[in-house]
Amino acid sequence: MTSSITIIEVMREFELYGIHPGTETQLPCVVELDLRSGKVCISTRDDTPNSIPMREWEGHMMSWKMPCLVADAANVLLQQVAGEAQCIRQAYLKHHEENDESTRFRPEGETLAAAVEIERICRDSEGVQIIGVPASDVVAEVISDLGITAETTNDEIDDIARWIEEEGRLNDPIYVYIGLHQHLRTYRDTLQQATQHVITE
């Protein structure tokens, strides 16, 4: 079996951004090294114990946390960890040539140093980050200045939300406002209810 690795590049600019379903919490990003296949990629996944892939529990995969980056920066990071990833995979293959498949692979010596170096590269990675923040924490300070009234339509709400999103992408880091469209609609609906209450009185 060849000890080479295959880097799976990030293709879309915001591919690594994601949130926990039903929450306003951003999913962490990790560099994954599949020791069996040699694939090195970046993925987003829940950071709870139940979310760790079985092959990682069994010692056939390693992962390292990293910031959420735009595609170009993420692909630079993948190139930076390639040498260390190949060193670790070579040790993994040698381990399973000399031991039973059920014997768990544990990095030692130079292999452990390579794993620590990947951790450092991920921690110190440079490039534009993508940070998700709840819209309710940010927009509340300016929402009264956005021109939203009880008569504002859903299409107009979407236009306002897109403008805010575009402004957020001009920053470094890039801010993504979680639940923005719904937050603006809720604000509009509150104005509608207040108007109806005044009319009924």
Residues 136 and 103 in one domain: no
Host domain of residue 56: 6-123
Whether residues 52 and 113 share a domain: the answer is yes
Domain count, the chain: 2
pLDDT at 155 (0 to 100): 93
Q: Which of 82, 98, 123 is the last residue of a domain?
A: 123
134 located within any domain: yes
Q: Select from 100, 123, 146 the last residue of a domain.
A: 123
Same domain, 118 and 135: no
Q: What is the pLDDT of residues 115-168, one digit of tens each?
A: 999 999 999 998 999 998 888 877 777 787 888 888 999 999 999 999 988 888
For 13-52, write each residue's pLDDT tens digit: 888 998 887 777 889 999 999 999 999 999 998 776 667 7
- The span from the CA of 149 to the CA of 162, in Å, is 17
- Same domain, residue pair 104 and 139: no
Which is more confident, 106 or 63? 63
> Does 58 share its domain with 43?
yes
Burial 100-132 (b: 16+ CB within 10 A, else e): eeeeebebeeebeebbeebbebbeebebbbbeb
Indicate the residue among 123, 152, 180 that finishes a domain: 123
CB 65 within 8 A of CB 43: no
Looking at the fold, whether 119 and 137 belong to one and the same domain comes out as no
